[in-house]
Amino acid sequence: MKKYLSDVFGAIGSLLKGMKLTGYYFTHHKEIITQEYPDKKIKLPERFRGEVVMTHDEQNEHACTGCTACELACPNGTIKIITKFDVTPEGKKKKALDTFIYHLELCTMCNLCVEACPTDAIKMAQNFEHSVYDRSQLTKKLNNPGSKIREGVE
């Protein structure tokens, strides 16, 4: 008999404690953590792995030598490098980058290509809104048209 009553009161007590907690959250509106996207833009940290981009400076020059280290490091064939042969002022033939093809649809953002690059030519950008209406827009060429390699990069 005593156990019956203590069961009942213990039960009611535990239920009321739970209700007190949700009642607290109901009345304190500053605890709300909803990020109102897309009304308020989200600021991403600088190491966020969005998509791979090639950095170009003001003279439209990049640092990619066409060594294909990133293509070898990528686990699923996202990067394809097409090289051409440039003629240097001394008349020697030197390998240079023609196009850097990057399949955004296959990329897993694992960062192995950025780690493998010896000249820090590519890095990860901070955007995650990659949706497009047309699939062909996801195959990107990372080097800008008319850009060439910076002097002194080996």
Partner 1 sequence: MISLADITAAINHWLYATLPGWAALLVEAVIVGIAAITLFAVLGLVLVFMERKVSAYMQVRLGPNRVGPGGTLQTLADTLKLAMKEGLTPDGADKFLFNLAPYVVIIAAMLILAPIAFAKGFQIWDLNIGILYVSAVSSLSVIGILMAGWASNNKYSLLGAMRSGAQIVSYELSAGISVVSIVILTGSLRISDIVASQQDGWWIFKGHIPALISFVIFIIAVTAETNRAPFDLAEAESELTAGFHTEYSGMKFALFFLAEYVNIFIVCAIAATLYLGGWMPLHIGHWAAFNHVMDYIPSSLWFWGKTFFLIFVIMWFRWTFPRLRIDQLLNLEWKYLLPISMVNLLLMALIAVEGWYL
Partner 2 sequence: MIEEIGTTEAGELVINMGPQHPSTHGVLHLIITISGETIKKVEPHLGYIHRSIEKMCESLSYRQFIYVTSRMDYLSSHINNHGCALCVEKGMQIEVPPRAQVIRVLMDELTRLASHQLWWGAMAMDVGALTPFFHAFREREAINDIMEETCGARLTMNYMVPGGVMADLHPRFAERVKEFMRFFRSKMDEYDELVTNNVIFKSRMQGVGYLSRENAISYGCTGPTGRASGVSCDMRKIAPYEVYGRLAFNEILQTEGDCYARYLVRMAEMRQSLSIIDQLIDNIPEGDFQAKTKAVLKLPKGEFYSRVETARGEFGVYIISEGGTTPYRIKFRSPGFSNLSALDHMARGHKIGDLVAIMGTLDLVIPDIDR
CB of 142 to partner 1, least distance (A): 38
Q: Is 21 in the site for partner 2 (CB under 8 A)?
A: yes
112 binds, among partner 1, partner 2, none (CB under 5 to 8 A by kind): partner 2
Q: Does 3 bind partner 1 (CB under 8 A)?
A: no
Place of tokens 């493998």: 116
Q: Which two tokens stand for residue 2?
A: 């005593």
**Encoded tokens for 40:** 């308020």
- Based on the number of CB atoms within 10 Å of its own CB, is 57 exposed (0-12), middle (13-18) or buried (19 or more)? exposed
By CB under 8 A, name the one of 2, 3, 22, 134 that touches partner 2: 22
Cβ neighbours of residue 60 closer than 8 Å, sequence gap 6 or more: 144, 146, 147, 148
Q: Which of residues 36-75 bind partner 1 (CB under 8 A)?
A: 36
Residues touching partner 2, count (CB under 8 A):
25
- Based on the shown chain and the rule CB under 8 A, indicate whether residue 19 belongs to the binding site for partner 1: yes
